[in-house]
Chains A and B, each alone.
Chain A
Amino acid sequence: MKILVVAERKGAELRRVSLEAAARAKDLGAATVVEITGERYSPLAFTSALAKRVEADKADLVILGATLNGRDLGARLAARLGRAYAADVTSLETSGDHLEVTRPMYAGKVRARLRVPLPAVVTIRPGAVPLKATAAPAVEEIPADAAAEKLEFVKFAEVASSGKRVSLADARVVVSGGRGLRGPENWHLVEQLADALGGAVGASRAVTDAGWRPNEEQVGQTGKTVTPDLYVALGISGAIQHLAGMTSSKVIVAVNKDPDADIFKIADYGVVADVFEFVPAFTEAVRKVKAAS
């Protein structure tokens, strides 16, 4: 089977999910890894360049990372080529003339196994493929098709707050704060723990709705879905919409002073404590444990 993997970079580095996609593709068939180069992602210029390459290569399967841009490009590409499309798959197998994939549905409340007819376009969820330490794949560059562009880029409006911390999408550790933090002025507690753990900062919907934190930090059904190795929920009660966005994390730690909070039902480690007392002590303990190892 001929597979085209579309890799994405963050800065100079290939995204982890691109390495995961390339690793999976190599196990499934003859894989070529390409990267579309251009000033920035744009659906028409990227779709046009990629569609031409897929047709020239007669690729049976195109795999992209289920990132913000990967999901958009995958959908438009599948529409252009009239192919089957499966987004955000967590497993991917070939079986004769079709694929079998697993993917979350109903905001993560259901896991479905699906038969996807080939040829197909698939986006793969970050963290779904275990990544053995392998060399980065050879990546072939394809220039974006500027002639296909119909949009005009105006500007990039930066958000000041994100700083140097890792982004939610890529993070192996996520520390999220909820209403239990009582206000934006207490967010240094979340940030210091995130920094000690080398993780990203998230928030519950109650927090972003109240304007304490920017929308882009919202974890949950209408925010981001994250699947880190470690998810730490601070002062989050665990509304079903929040759980939908983080319940596939490998290890979940919850800190809440209400012993009946729903978040404890899914936590691997639950701490019934006041976040204001516990979090500074835990941040310190994490620093010590990390320094010792």
Chain B
Amino acid sequence: MKILIPLKQVPDSTVRVKVAPDGKQIATEGVTWSISPYDEYAIEMALERKDADPSTIVAVVTVGPARSRDALRQALAMGCDEASLILADEPVAPLAVARALAKIVAEAKPDLVLCGKQASDDDQGFVGPALAEALGWPHVATITKFVPQAGAAELWREVEGGHEVWKAALPALATVHKSEKEPRYPSLPGIMKAKKKEIPERAFGSLGIDATAPLLEVLSMEPPPARGGGKILKDGDAATTAQRLATLLRDEAKVL
């Protein structure tokens, strides 16, 4: 089985994101970049399959600027077999990204495409379903598990109160909410091996796809409204403090 994972490099989840002076983008100076968390889950899910069946091939691809190469290298170090970069220095409209990825999928011919359910920079969750649409494939959103079957896959989707289990004939696409285990850290041999692997690169413009698509324009960015200055209750016995808090929530905050 061949699994392809389109990934995106985003600011690491531990980074305190700041808005740049122009107020239209984030300040990138000093930012640590990582594979988007949901893409990491997708990689882990694919690598768990590879653990069970070593003939599985796991490939990653990204559309992004040159620094994205580090995210691909990281994926290789985790245990992915192949990586390729579609170099785009300028932001590309999501539907054009989906078309570019569709072209890669048509060439690579994977059985299964796994996308993180959303990239944790724009948090749109657009490219996964849009890629399935560009391919004319079915997709199942926000899965937490897949079970391969002859020519098909069972896709487990977490919903309120349980899991919906869907069966898709392959090839198919799923967006990933979580893997069964936490994403693995690269091993030292993995890192050494990844260093030696070639990451082929193509310019986005050389793919010959139609890049015209609606693009959202950022008018302004700001940090979320500051919170804090709250009341701290620390003295007194539990019963008195509890009563005081309940009363405050009713009379002051008006949420009871």
Residue numbers of A with Cβ under 8 A of B are 10, 40, 42-44, 47, 68-69, 71-72, 75-76, 78-80, 82-88, 100, 103-117, 120, 150-159, 162, 167, 169, 173, 197, 209, 215-216, 221-222, 229-230, 240-241, 247-248, 250-253, 259, 264-273, 277-278, 280-282, 284-286, 288-290, 293
CB neighbours of A273 from chain B (8 A): 233-234, 238, 241
> Is B128 interfacial (CB 8 A cutoff)?
yes
Number of interface residues of B (CB under 8 A): 84
> Bound state CA distance, A105 and B234, in angstroms?
35
> Is B37 interfacial (CB 8 A cutoff)?
yes
> Bound state CA distance, A289 and B214, in angstroms?
52
> Is B196 interfacial (CB 8 A cutoff)?
no
Q: What would 10 more interface pairs be, CB under 8 Å, given A69-B141, A286-B256?
A: A79-B126, A105-B122, A106-B17, A108-B224, A114-B219, A153-B165, A156-B164, A247-B224, A271-B241, A273-B241
CB neighbours of A268 from chain B (8 A): 227, 230-231, 253
> Bound state CA distance, A253 and B233, in angstroms?
11
CB neighbours of B122 from chain A (8 A): 105
Q: Bits for B235-247, please: 1 = Cβ < 8 Å to A, else 0.
A: 0001101110111
**Are A169 and B219 in touch, CB under 8 angstroms?**
no
Q: Which of B170-195 contact A (CB under 8 A)?
A: 175, 178, 182
> Bound state CA distance, A33 and B41, in angstroms?
36
**Are B255 and A250 in touch, CB under 8 angstroms?**
yes
How many residue-residue contacts, CB under 8 A, span A and B? 266
Q: Which of B103-134 contact A (CB under 8 A)?
A: 118, 120-126, 128-130, 132-134
> Bound state CA distance, A216 and B234, in angstroms?
33
Using A106-B11, A113-B220 as known contacts, say yes or no to A271 and B123 having CB atoms under 8 A apart: no
CB neighbours of A110 from chain B (8 A): 17, 19, 26, 221-224
CB neighbours of B30 from chain A (8 A): none
CB neighbours of A103 from chain B (8 A): 123
What are 17 A-B interface contacts by the 8 Å CB criterion? A68-B141, A79-B133, A86-B216, A88-B123, A105-B123, A106-B121, A112-B218, A117-B215, A151-B166, A152-B166, A153-B165, A157-B164, A215-B144, A229-B255, A270-B230, A280-B238, A285-B239
Interface centre among B17, B121, B182 (most CB of A within 10 A): B17
Using A78-B126, A105-B123, A269-B230 as known contacts, say yes or no to A153 and B218 having CB atoms under 8 A apart: no
Using A112-B218, A269-B233 as known contacts, say yes or no to A284 and B242 having CB atoms under 8 A apart: yes
**Are B233 and A270 in touch, CB under 8 angstroms?**
yes
**Are A264 and B124 in touch, CB under 8 angstroms?**
no
Checking A72, A265, A269 against B249 with a beta-carbon cut-off of 8 angstroms, the contacting residue is A269
Checking A80, A167, A222, A240 against B14 with a beta-carbon cut-off of 8 angstroms, the contacting residue is A240
CB neighbours of A240 from chain B (8 A): 13-14, 16
Q: How far is the CB of B151 from chain A (nearest CB, A)?
A: 12
CB neighbours of B238 from chain A (8 A): 273, 277-278, 280-282
> Is B83 interfacial (CB 8 A cutoff)?
no
**Are A251 and B223 in touch, CB under 8 angstroms?**
no
**Are B246 and A83 in touch, CB under 8 angstroms?**
no
> Bound state CA distance, A267 and B228, in angstroms?
6
CB neighbours of B132 from chain A (8 A): 43, 76
**Are B227 and A241 in touch, CB under 8 angstroms?**
no
CB neighbours of A197 from chain B (8 A): 256
> Is B66 interfacial (CB 8 A cutoff)?
no
**Are B182 and A209 in touch, CB under 8 angstroms?**
yes
